[in-house]
Amino acid sequence: MAGKNYSAEDIKILEGLDAVRLRPGMYIGSTGVKGLHHILWEIVDNAIDEASNGFATRIEVILHKDGSASVEDNGRGIPTDIHPKTGVSGVEVVFTQLHAGGKFDEHNYSFSGGLHGVGASVTNALSEWLKVEVYRGTVFKMSFHSYYDEKAEKYMCGVPCEHLTDTKQKTDKTGTYICFKPDAEVFDTVNFNFETVSKRLKELAFLNKGLEINLIDERVGEDKKPIAVNYKFDGGLHDFAMYLNEGKTPLYENPIGYKTEKDGILIEFAIQHTSDFTESLFSFVNNIPTPEGGFHETGFRTGLTKSLNDIARSTGALKDKDANLLGEDFREGLTAILSIKMKNVQFEGQTKTKLGNAEARQPVETATVEGIAQLFKDPKLKLTFDEIVKKAQSAARVRIAARQAKEVARAKNSIDNLTLVGKLAACTGKKPELNELFIVEGDSAGGTAKQARIRQTQAILPLRGKPLNVEKKRIDQVLANEEIRTIISALGAGYGGDFTMDDLKYHKVIILSDADQDGMHIRCILLTFFFRYMRELINNGNVYIGMPPLYKVYKKDIVEYAYDDEELQKKIEIVGKGYQIQRYKGLGEMSAEQLWETTMDPARRNLIRVNIEDAAEAEQMVTALMGDRVEARKEFLAQNANFNKVDTFIDRVNI
């Protein structure tokens, strides 16, 4: 097996850590919740790389009481010998040098997610301290810390406390243990979210068949035991598809899948259709999620369409005179997981969200055609493919009808454009990147918002009643809904496969609803629509939730606003004795001046930016909350009653 003689000489150095401290966003995206978890993922990904390449079978992650986190694997262990160019151990090189690691040489790692070689060193640079133990016959130890050097008048980050020490303590274990504490001077919060960590580790266990991953959360009261979960899936992607479809009605009982190697690329996929109307494709490259897709997704979709059309013709479902079905027909209601592992990966951007390797497209397409053809030969799967083709033909009929309805709507719209956007109070600004669209609950609140806005950059779209829940409807039913058509028309960027950011008229889409159950339901409905038909809008960070205050605390000329009960007590202390409280039941109770200064003024407002940290988990959340399965919804709400504050999906910002 490649990489058996793994030594410090294998670690290639492609510069210190000052740059990381100065501009952390360049390396981890942000210093918010997402960035905090990013430095944990960098260490986890290194352990996963050991497992993916056949060197580790178990990983343990612990969230400690003191705010630190540790990751241990039973892989080979970071090289402990002296690096020939630096004169220090391989461990010290890995944690103090950017662009240093064993993954630039293919004989050590066939496939790797940590291709930039900055992971361990960036985590070290952004931590108060970091400790590492390596198990290679004996136990090796080393630690690092960050501090302000008054003489040098600069912050020293990730500095070794000592060189690597061989403790001479014998051990039968192999692998690496890393424990670090994120620096509160860097991050907005240093509190790891258990659900966020748990969901990502569960996903990694699905992607790495048979790998055991343990997660322990020690941050509980002294009278309670730590929370511990264990993930191990011997079915791999098959189990992943079953998990994603738990809240849906499958078209056929078991997912079908295929695994092969083409041109040095390991390719694996699993698919299962459901009675739903939207496509859910989740792709991964070397275990890294690629929510923005890339050439591997293009190859998969092309191969799937070609092979299923071939099957439709071979079974007589499509006659010689019939046109081929479209890819979108075959993908209606499809849940698919595509996982590839390849060398020399080129992700677009440090956040690794899109695969840029054009050479991946053809092997994936070929593997998909080959895999579907081979599965079709199994007599047990004949009914499965019959169901897939029947659903695609039904989708095609709806697509054709929807296209005809769309053409009628266009003709009508050309006569009277106000049919679609008559309720919209557009802004006068011509630069989409500066423009904001407020989607406001109710005509009353919409009227107030129109009075409060800045006409140059803020547009107002009032909603009359609750919009359609698109999770339960076909595309023709979605387009028949006036509220949905109005939103599509106002944004001007299309929908579904035709959606394009280039035509987007407003780069901030802000949902503004009451802070009650009805308001929350409207937010869920709108977010479901964006998730299903304009997902790129969420992926690009263009969707926000406006946060109107719940309370006004005032006395004479002193006025303070509170956005929750906890903040209310602080505001009462600020205003002092003799205060009065006004509880807002809805946006309509506010004057235009109050709505402006609390919710619409860019200098003072609070917005929640909606993001998808984990697309697969977001898929399950939307299905559970907005689908037809009542039991699934009850179970989800019982486990996530406070879902509006789950860090996985939302990130509060002042913007």
Active site residue 183: no
Active site residue 565: no
Do 81 and 89 form a contact (C-beta atoms < 8 A)? Answer: yes
The catalytic position among 81, 162, 246, 516 is 516
Residues paired with 215 in a beta bridge: 61, 229
Amino acid letter, 616: A
Q: Is 527 exposed, middle or buried (0-12, 13-18, 19+ CB in 10 A)?
A: buried
Q: Is 570 exposed, middle or buried (0-12, 13-18, 19+ CB in 10 A)?
A: exposed
The catalytic position among 149, 322, 518, 601 is 518
For the sheet with 165-182, list strands across it: 154-160, 127-149, 165-182, 69-73, 58-63, 212-217, 227-231
Q: What are phi and psi of 561, to 5 degrees?
A: -115, 140
Per-residue burial over 619-642, b if 16 or more Cβ lie within 10 Å, else e, is bbbbbbbbbeeeebbeebeeeeee
The DSSP-derived string for 183-201 is -TTT-S-----HHHHHHHH
Orientation of helix 295-314 relative to helix 361-376, angle to 10°: 30
> What region does 140 belong to: left with phi over 0, alpha with psi -120 to 50, or beta?
beta
The catalytic position among 50, 73, 128, 441 is 441
CA-to-CA distance for 636 and 623, rounded, in angstroms? 10
Q: How many CB atoms lie within 10 A of CB 369?
A: 19
Encoding tokens for residue 338? Answer: 């595509």
Active site residue 514: yes
The DSSP-derived string for 240-254 is HHHHHTTTS-BSSSS
Write the CB contacts of 337 (distance below 8 Å, at least 6 apart in sequence).
206, 237, 240, 241, 244, 269, 270, 271, 281, 282, 283, 284
Active site residue 651: no
Encoding tokens for residue 250? Answer: 């499958």
CA distances to 50, 136, 152, 237, 402 from 411, in Å: 59, 73, 71, 46, 14
H or E element in which residue 463 lies: strand 458-463
The catalytic position among 72, 92, 183, 514 is 514
Strands 288-289, 334-341: pairing kind: unpaired
Write the CB contacts of 268 (distance below 8 Å, at least 6 apart in sequence).
236, 237, 257, 258, 259, 260, 338, 339, 340
The residues annotated as belonging to the active site are: 441, 514, 516, 518
